[in-house]
Every structure is written in structure tokens, then in C-alpha cells.
Amino acid sequence: MVDGACLELVGKHETSREGEAEAERALIRRAQRGDRSAFDTLVRRYDQEVLRMTLRMVRSEEEAQDLYQEVFLKVYRSLGQFRLEARFSTWLYRVVTNVCVDHLRQQKSRSEVPARAGADGELDYARALADDRPGLNPEQALRAREISRRLEVALRQLSPRERMVFELKHCQGMKLRAIGELCGTSEEAAKNSLFRAVQKLRQDLSDLV
Amino acid sequence: MNCDDLEKTSSLYLYDELGAEDRAAFETHLASCGGCRTRLEEARRLHRVLSACPRPEPTPELLVRCRQALDEALDREQLGWRGLLRGWMWQFGAAPAPRLAAVLTLLLFGFGLGWTLRPRARSLAPLTPSGTTSPFGASDLGDVRIRHISEVAPDPQSGGVRITLDAERRVTLEGSLDDPRIRQVLVDTVRGYDNPGIRRDTLDALRTHRDNPSVRAALLYALRHDANAGLRLEALKTVRGMQWGPDVHQALLGALEHDANPGVRVAAVDALVEHAVEEGEDETVMPVLLKLAASEQNPYVRLQCLAAVRKMEGNEQ
């Protein structure tokens, strides 16, 4: 008989924060010297979060996979320039931000609408939506799907920067100061981007409110 | 604070981004302004709608695909010019700028030297010690690549020269896997060739003869030992279709328990469970699944083992 506690996702074993940071620096040093297994270990620590961020930005598994690879190849190629006194996660997520924003800018300039409809007409990213709310009746489920579709359309109207700030704030819950740092701007600029994003979304979704 | 500030401030308020002083000023204004309270309530409703939308979460399958693709891309990166350059740079251990300058200088020098000394196969005239042309005629030199020259000995008496060299010739083999020579080349490639792309193509080629003894052994070897997780997974897919035997069973159990890649381990779970459900054998599989479902560190593997246990228990009933 299997204990139901197995269903809980295990967290990392907690050592002291400083010990963890030093262990990570040692790992980075080894990776910088060409130790591939050290780099793979570093990737495994962060890649789920990176994939989550890219998927939420582009809402397509295929594109998220491409961006995931682009991020980690950039990290691999430029790891030698990373200064160990800086925080690796900040540096990594800045790469993610830049890659995602560049991708969205290219999409906008090509006016490309990624072909995402599945065989049954559903947007394929919807398969990735973690809609695990129990007891959602069919009508509620239909409304939820419609809101998601409208939200995706509305998000595409945002500029790449606005979208990035909105996703990082609304979905990831990051503080605007940290968002500004990731995006290479000030906290004030991040606030303005968030404000513009919310205004545009309110205009596009006013009938749903 | 006045009503004009409210629109921007309400977004920051709902996202808990206001400092203590601004928050207090905002709430003081709200207490006395019905219009602003109404607008805040509209903003709150929008916030609830946005928060209620399910957020895309990467599936375990997507994560495994991403990891495999990255693994292969990094393999190519390591074998490419960037990887070689990076390796040299770390060997020199110099600071980045002089390191780069040193490497570029060496590259240019080496390229220039190599270009000057490049073997001109057609101009060589191999001679036997007696001075006559060797059986290894000039026409053979067209597709020969000279790897190393260990001696060039001019003979002043005859005016000729003796050259001792190591050479390799490109050979193309064509045929079916029924030809043991072709099969042997492929088996050796899977076991030891360092290019993962070639190993992958070789695994594809071997699929049709997976139950041939030497091919079977090579595929099981690849499942156990290939350095590339994507290729171990490819080997596993072929092994899964083999005639089941103790060697296949042990190789899959070994992959489940010991492979470094969770995607390979989960594929091993699927293969073992499928066989156990079809053939009704789970004396060795169930204990391993139970152990991993209870104590495996990787949550994805643990959940898959748990699901497999349930499936097998359901099948017994």
C-alpha cells in the first residue's frame, strides 16, 4: 500500500542559504571549466521554471521548446563571462526575458500568427493549461476557456515589454523592482509598462468584467 | 492623492506594490470618494478575471522533450568549432581578452601553416625500395587522405624519394543488414563511435534486425551505456519491440533504477508495465515500482511509478 504523502511534490532538502550559494558557485566554476555534467546539473535546477516562463509568454509548446533551447545555449556559450559574485538566477532570468522579448518582437514585426489550432480546433496550448479546479461544471469550463482565448488575443496586443512585465508580475508574482532589473530598466519604467498593459487589457476585456 | 492618480495607483495597490505611506494615502482617499471606490471595484473585478484564467504549466512530457533536445544541441555544440575553441581557452587559463587574441593568432598561424603544408596527394610518386612504382598506384591516391607522414627519405643515387605515411581511404558500403560486414560496422558504430548523430542514424538502421544476436547485444549496450540520453531513449524504444528475454528485462529494470535521465526512466516504466500487464508477470517489476513510488527523489519519476503501481494493481483485480 502506497502512502498518500507520495503525492506531494518533494521540495529541495534545505541547507543553509550561504552553503547553497557556495555549492552553486562551485558548480558554476566547474561548468565554466567545461564540465558538462556540472552544466547539466545547473540546467536541471532551473529549467522547469525557465520552461514555465517561456510557455506563459508564447503559449505554444513548440515555441516554448525553441526558446528554452535558445536560453540554455546562450547560457552555455556565455557562462565563461558570468561573474561568480553575481546571482546566477538573476542572470539566467535576464537571458530568458531578453530571448522572450526578442521573440515577441520578431513575431510582431512579421505579423505572424503561430498556427496553433489542433485537429479539433482547440488552441493547442490549452492542453498545457493547469485547470485543475475540481467541480468545474461544463458551463463554467466553457466560460473559462472563452476567457482564456480572449485573454490570449488581448495579450498579443501588448508590446513585448508590456507583455513581459505583465506576465512576470501577474503570473510569476515578481516585484516590480526585480522585474525592472531583469528587463534592464528601472522600477518606474516597469510600473509604467504594467499600468499600460492593465489599461489595454481592461479595454479589450471590459465586457467580461 | 487625487482622483486622477487613482487609475495608476489602483493597479499598484491591487498588486501590492505600494509603499506603506502611499498605501495609507490611497486608502484615506478611498474612504471619502465613492467614485474612486467604484473604479477600484471595477479594477478588482478585472484582476479577478485575469487571476482566474488557468496558467499554462509545462507537462512532464514537454520537459523531457526539451531536455533531450537540449542534450543533443549541447553535444553538437561541444563537437563544433565553438566547443573546441572553448576547450582551448580553458586550457590556456588566460584572461578572456588575451586568451581570445592568443587563440585567434594560433588559429591563423595554424591555418596558414596547414595550407602551406597541405598534402598534395596527386603529386606524390610512391616508389618501392628498388625505385619502381609500387602496386599502390597514383590512381589510388585520388581518394586517399594522408593522416601522418613519418619519413621522407630522398635517395640521391636514384633521384627518387621514399615516403612513409599513414593514410586512410573513404569507403562506401551499401547493402542490407543481412550482410554480416555491414551489420558488424553498424554494431561497432553503436558501441563506440563518438558522433551522436551517426549513432542515432545507426540505431535507426539496426531497428529492422533487432532480434539478430549481435544487433540485440549492441542495442542493449546502447540502452545501458550511451552517453547521450536521447540515444538511450531511442535504443529503449527499439528494445521494447524485441523478443522479450531476461536480458531485455534486466536492461529495462536497470534503466528504470539507474539511468541519469528521468525521461529514459519513465519510458522504462512504460515498457515494463506494458509487458507485465500483457504477460501477467510482475514478480520483479512491482517491488521496484513500489520502492521508487515511496522513495524516489525525482518527483516526475516517482509519480509515474505510483501511476504504474495503480495500473498493475487494477489489472490484477
Q: Give the domain range for residue A157.
A: 136-209
Chain A, 6 to 35: residues with Cβ < 8 Å from chain B are 6-7, 9-10, 32-34
A1 occurs within a structural domain:
no
> Does the beta-carbon distance from B52 to A81 stay under 8 Å?
no
Domains held by chain A: number: 2
> Does the beta-carbon distance from A47 to B66 stay under 8 Å?
yes
Over residues B8-65, the pLDDT tens digits come to 788 888 888 888 888 898 888 888 888 888 888 888 888 888 887 777 888 888 999 9
Q: How far apart are the first and last CA of chain A?
A: 48
The pLDDT, as a whole number, for residue A206 is 82
**Residues A104 and A34 reside in one and the same domain:** yes
Interface test with A, best of B9, B61, B67 (most A CBs within 10 A): B67
3-state secondary structure string, chain A?
Answer: CCCHHHHCCCCCCCCCHHHHHHHHHHHHHHHHCCCHHHHHHHHHHHHHHHHHHHHHHHCCHHHHHHHHHHHHHHHHHHHHHCCCCCCHHHHHHHHHHHHHHHHHHHHHHHCCCCCCECCCCCEHHHHHECCCCCCCCHHHHHHHHHHHHHHHHHHHCCCHHHHHHHHHHHHCCCCHHHHHHHHCCCHHHHHHHHHHHHHHHHHHHHHHC
Tell me how far apart the alpha carbons of residues A178 and B70 are, in angstroms, rounded to a whole number.
28
Selection from A104, A119, A6 nearest residue A57 by Cα = A104
> Does the beta-carbon distance from A65 to B65 stay under 8 Å?
yes
- From chain A, pick out residues whose CB is under 8 angstroms from the CB of B89: 80
The backbone torsions φ and ψ at residue B192, rounded to the nearest 5 degrees and listed phi first, read: -140, -5
Angle between the N-to-C axes of helices B34-52 and A138-156, in degrees from 0 to 180, rounded to the nearest 10:
100
- From chain B, pick out residues whose CB is under 8 angstroms from the CB of A205: 46, 49-50
A8 occurs within a structural domain:
no
**Looking at the complex, does the CB of residue B81 fall below 8 Å from at least one CB of chain A?**
no
Query: Residue for cell digits 508574482?
Result: A173
A2 occurs within a structural domain:
no
Q: What is the dihedral of CA B181, B182, B188, B191, to 10 degrees?
A: -140
A190 is written with which cell numbers?
Answer: 516597469
- From chain A, pick out residues whose CB is under 8 angstroms from the CB of B309: 2
Residue pairs spanning A and B at CB distance below 8 A: 139
**Looking at the complex, does the CB of residue A147 fall below 8 Å from at least one CB of chain B?**
yes
> Which of B45, B58, B306 comes nearest A209 by C-beta?
B45
pLDDT at residue B71 greater than cutoff 50 = yes
A129 occurs within a structural domain:
no
Beta bridge pairs of residue B169:
B144
Domain residue spans in chain B? 3-48, 80-118, 124-169, 180-316
> Does the beta-carbon distance from B294 to A3 stay under 8 Å?
yes
A153 occurs within a structural domain:
yes
**Residues A100 and A140 reside in one and the same domain:** no
> Which of B7, B49, B96 comes nearest A209 by C-beta?
B49
A130 occurs within a structural domain:
no
Q: Does domain B180-316 have CATH number 1.25.10.10?
A: yes
**Residues A140 and A106 reside in one and the same domain:** no
- pTM (2 decimals)? 0.51
A48 occurs within a structural domain:
yes
A119 occurs within a structural domain:
no
Over residues A92-125, the pLDDT tens digits come to 999 999 999 999 888 777 654 444 444 433 334 4
Over residues A18-69, the pLDDT tens digits come to 788 888 999 999 999 888 889 999 999 999 999 999 998 888 899 999 999 9
**Looking at the complex, does the CB of residue B316 fall below 8 Å from at least one CB of chain A?**
no
Q: What is the CATH number of the domain that holds A202?
A: 1.10.10.10
Q: What is the CATH number of the domain that holds A71?
A: 1.10.1740.10
**Looking at the complex, does the CB of residue A124 fall below 8 Å from at least one CB of chain B?**
no
**Residues A105 and A141 reside in one and the same domain:** no
The pLDDT, as a whole number, for residue B42 is 87
> Does the beta-carbon distance from B17 to A191 stay under 8 Å?
yes
**Looking at the complex, does the CB of residue A66 fall below 8 Å from at least one CB of chain B?**
no
The complex's ipTM works out to 0.77
